[in-house]
Amino acid sequence: MTVLDEQEWRSRAAAHRTRLEEMIGGYLALRREGGSHPVDDFLFTYYGHRPGRLMAWHPGAGAVLAGARAEELGAGYADTPEGAVLDTAALLPRRLAAVRWIRDLLAAIAARPAHLGCFGLHEWAMVYRLEPERIRHASWPLRLPAEDVAALLDQRGVRCSHFDAFRFFTEPARPLNVLSPSRENRVELEQPGCLHANMDLYKWAYKLSPLVPGELVADCFALARRIRAVDMRASPYDLGALGYEPIRVETAEGRAEYAAHQRGFTEEAAPLRAALLEACDALLALAGRAVLESA
252, 96 Cβ separation under 8 angstroms = no
- Model confidence at 26, pLDDT cuts 50, 70, 90, reads very high
pLDDT in tens, 202-247: 999 999 999 999 999 999 999 999 999 999 999 999 999 999 999 9
d(CA 290, CA 92): 10
Report the Cα–Cα distance between both ends of the chain, in Å, rounded. Answer: 22
pLDDT value of residue 134 = 83
pLDDT digit string, tens, across residues 191-208: 999 999 999 999 999 999
Residue 14 confidence (pLDDT): 98
CA-CA-CA-CA torsion for 97, 218, 26, 137, nearest 10 degrees? -40
**Dihedral angle of Cα 151, 153, 154, 159, to the nearest 10 degrees:** 170
User: How far apart are the C-alpha atoms of 169 and 257, rounded to whole Å?
Assistant: 24
Amino acid (one-letter) located at 283: L
Q: Is 292 exposed, middle or buried (0-12, 13-18, 19+ CB in 10 A)?
A: exposed
Q: Is the pLDDT of residue 292 over 70?
A: no
Q: Identify the bridge partners of residue 78 per DSSP, sorted by sequence position.
A: 85
Between 80-94, 136-150, 214-228, the lowest mean confidence (pLDDT) is in 136-150
- Residue 270 CB partners (closer than 8 Å, separation 6+): 110, 192
How far is 76 from 86, CA to CA, in rounded Å?
A: 6
Q: How far apart are alpha carbons 169 and 248 in whole angstroms?
A: 20
H helices of 157-251, where?
163-166, 186-189, 195-208, 214-233
Average pLDDT over residues 132-137: 80
Peptide bond into 210 cis (omega under 30): yes
